Each structure stands twice: as structure tokens, then as C-alpha cells.
Structure 1
Amino acid sequence: MPRKQAEEVFLYTFYISLFDIDPVIWRRFSVPSNITFEQFHEVIQLVMGWENYHLYNFKYGPIEIGIPNEDENFFEPGGTFLNAGEVHLSSIDLQPDDVMTYVYDFGDNWVHLLRLEFISAMDKGNSHTFHCESGARACPPEDVGGPYGYDLHVKALADPTDDEHEDALNWRGPYDADAFHLESVNEQLKAQFGRGKGKKK
């Protein structure tokens, strides 16, 4: 396994899944090691299918990474807080099989488990710097109420006799929980990041 050096950029391949959802909603994707955690958040939003409406944070052991907020303190005392816009993915020295969490929307509390699967050398001919390799099932709708609300929403949509069926259908329209469009995800990644745009901020 290659060891990181300050001047080197590696390709990190992650497996991400939503906690407390069955069947599992998951993706496998790659990013360069020199992006900020704010950019990493943006990649996850595109890969998973979220709409980037809410706050977020990452946790890796005692390290918490997010956007400082003077009005509300969502961060636990006793750890180390880092600004997502300033710290780079490579700075916390992740190794294969390391796991961290990504929480999106502190109200619905969507907990994502992120496992680093591989660290690869960056090849000059590598055209997949930001790339989603695979995945399954659709992202939950925004503001659906977390895993419990999502389960109720999916069941209501699937059952025309459910008392909540019409409300669920009118709220966000039809929803296919099994849908995942890999090509569309990669088109969005290419449009936002492209190749070699890891230091855009």
C-alpha cells in the first residue's frame, strides 16, 4: 500500500452506506486525497443524491469536521473540531478499512458510514479522479423525517389503501426506492469537478 507524502496526491476509494436503512442504500466512489472536507461533502451529496439543503459534519475518532456555526453548537466537547473548508482529506492520515461517519441534516439525522477501501497511486492517464463506480437504491427524499419517516413514506407510497398514500404522493410525487442512475451521477461529478479540479477552493 502506498504511503502518503505531503506533495503526493492519491486516489481514495470509499464505500458509503446509510445507517439504519434496510435494504441498504450504498455507493462506491473515488476522490483525490487533496480535496477539502467541504468538497468531500459536495461529492457525497452528488453521489448519494441529496440536495445540499442542510448542515453536516464528519467524525473520525475524536476528530469532528464541519462548518463553524456561531449561533448553534452541534459539536461535542472534548474532541478536536476542524473547519471543513480548510482541512484536506489527506490530513487525517486515513488508512484502508478505516471508518468515519458523515451526518447530514441534524434534524432528520442521516448517518452515513464511510469506509476507506483502497488507496491508489494517481496515474497521469487516470480519467476517473472523481468517479462513482457502483451503488444501489435511491436516496431518500429530503425532509422525510429520517429513517423512521422514510420507512413510513415508502410504505405509504406502495399501498394505495394507506391513509397517508395521497399525502405522500402529493408531497414529492412518485418515488422509486430501487432506482439508481450511475451514469447521471458521474455526469454530475464531471460537470462540478471534472478532472484536476480538486483544489478549486
Structure 2
Amino acid sequence: MKAYILKLTFEDITPLIWRRVIMPADATFHRLHQTIQAVTNFQSTLSPYHFFGVTIDDYFITDNEVIRADYADNKYSSKKAKAPTSIKIDAIIEQHGEFLYTYDFGDDWRIRVELEEIVEDYYFGYPTLLDGEGTAPPEDVGGPPGYELFLEVYHDPKHPDYLHTKSWAKQQNYKPYDAARINEYLKMVKIKKTEWQLIDHDNYHVLSDKYRGPAN
């Protein structure tokens, strides 16, 4: 099936934190949001701020229902507010090649979504993490500046707030980058039916695949 290889890169964070994923075509922006949440340490919990937005062409695509309701008859920053379940990424990513995904209207995380390749030989109905680097920030840490301060305390056992910060990070589900764990999460982001007849598998246990590699 047709699929996109995308590189997802956090902006304003040093050293770079990035993920490379492949996801089936025909995915909505809602599915893209779920994919980004799965490959980071974000949890998209209920909060006044935990929404995302993509400004592209004539649209502001967001899962913030309040914004969409308030601007149903008017434009939001000169754009039409649209639900992420109503727009697919295909035409937009193929035309523009990249766009910014903004998450958490408080912390204001910005992740650049870049199209690296379009392929026709991906057979899984859900995304797959191909590569990546760096541990993603936890939820509600205060954006890039807050994350920088968080890391200073988190890695300094002599800091007076060290134990509190470690405990808070655990509550926020702050985990090191783990490709195998992430790929288990991504199986829940179902976009299409998996084409098992084209995959080398034994009772749905993948033996080998170009994008998922050999079985462990």
C-alpha cells in the first residue's frame, strides 16, 4: 500500500530529538496526532491546553472543540477552523513537503513534520517507527525552556529538587527512547487493514519485513 516516510523533529531543543516513522496514506490529521503522541512522551490527557494545531493553506486544523465552535462562522487568525478527523494529510504533505505541528497551547511544543519519501510497498495498517534519537520531553514541563531546566535538575543528584523532580517525571510517564515499546503503541493507531498476505509471518508474528526488520 502507499505510505509516507516522515521525519518528526522537535524545534528549539538541543541536542535534537527526532523520530522517523512510516504511516499508511489516507491518514487523517487525527491519526497523525495519535502517531506523534505515541512516539513521544506526551499523553494528550484532558487539560485546557493539551490540544494540537496545524496551520496550513486556508485551514487551522485542531482538536480544540471550543475553538472550532467559537469560530464556526468566522475565521480563526484568517483561517477556517477544521476538525482533524475531517482532513487527510495526503494532499497537504505531498504539496508542501513539510509543516509545523504545534501541541499544548500552554507549553507550545513545535514539531516539524517533513516528508522524506513516498513508498508503495508498506503492508501494515498502522504506523511503524523506523529510527529516532533523544528522549522526548514529559507533559507539562514548560516547553523548551522548562525542559532545559528540568534536565539540569533531573541529572543532578545533588540538586535540592532532585528527588521531587524524579518522582514528578515518573508520574508524567517520562521514559527513555525505546523503539520496541513505541512500536507496540503504534499498533493501536489503525489506519487501514494490514495486508497479511504480503507479509512474511507465522500466525501474525512477523518473521521479516523491509520496514519492521527480522523477528527477534
Code of the residue aligned with 1:17 in structure 2: it is T
Shift of 1:170: 2.9
Letter paired with 2:141: V
Question: Which residue among 125, 130, 134 is the counterpart of 2:127?
Answer: 130
Quote the offset at 1:192 in angstroms. Answer: 4.0
Note closer, same or farther for the CA distance 1:26–1:178 as it changes in structure 2 (3 Å cut): farther
Aligned residue for 1:32?
Answer: 24
Alignment partner of 1:22 is 2:14? yes
> Secondary structure of 2:110's match?
strand
SS in 2 for 1:168: helix
TM-score (norm 2): 0.74
> For residue 41 of structure 2, what is the aligned residue in structure 1?
49
What corresponds to 2:152 in structure 1?
155
Structure 1 residue 60 displacement after superposition: 2.7
Cα deviation, residue 129, structure 1: 4.8
Match of 1:81 in 2: 81
Match of 2:110 in 1: 111
- Equivalent residue letter for 1:102: Y
Question: 8 Å contact 2:125–2:193 — kept in the other structure?
Answer: no
CA-atom RMSD in angstroms: 2.8
Report how far residue 178 of structure 1 moved. 9.2
Cα distance in 2, alignment partners of residues 22 and 69 from structure 1: 33
Q: How does 1:64-79 map to 2 (within 5 A)?
A: 64-70=60-66, 76-79=76-79
| Alpha-carbon distance change, 76 to 19 in structure 1, aligned in 2, over 3 angstroms | farther
Q: SS at the partner of 2:30? A: helix
- Distance in structure 1 (CA, Å) of the matches to 2:28 and 2:161: 42
Mapped contact 2:6–2:21 kept (Cα < 8 A)? yes
User: Aligned partners of 1:119, 1:11: CA distance in 2, in Å?
Assistant: 6
**Paired residues of 2:6 and 2:20 also in contact (CA < 8 A):** yes
Give the secondary structure class of the aligned counterpart of 2:5. Answer: strand
Paired residue secondary structure (1:70): helix
Equivalent residue number for residue 143 of structure 2? 146
Between 126-135 and 62-71, the greater mean CA deviation after superposition: 62-71
- Can you give the 5+ residue segments of structure 1 that lack an aligned partner in the other structure? 1-8
TM-score normalized by structure 1? 0.79
- Cα offset, 1:187, TM superposition: 1.3
Structure 1, residues 7-61: CA drift from partner, whole Å, max 9, x if none? xx62011001111111111000011121111111111110223212211112235
Say whether the 8 Å CA contact 1:57–1:67 is kept in structure 2.
yes
1:4 alignment partner in structure 2: none
AA matched with 1:43: T
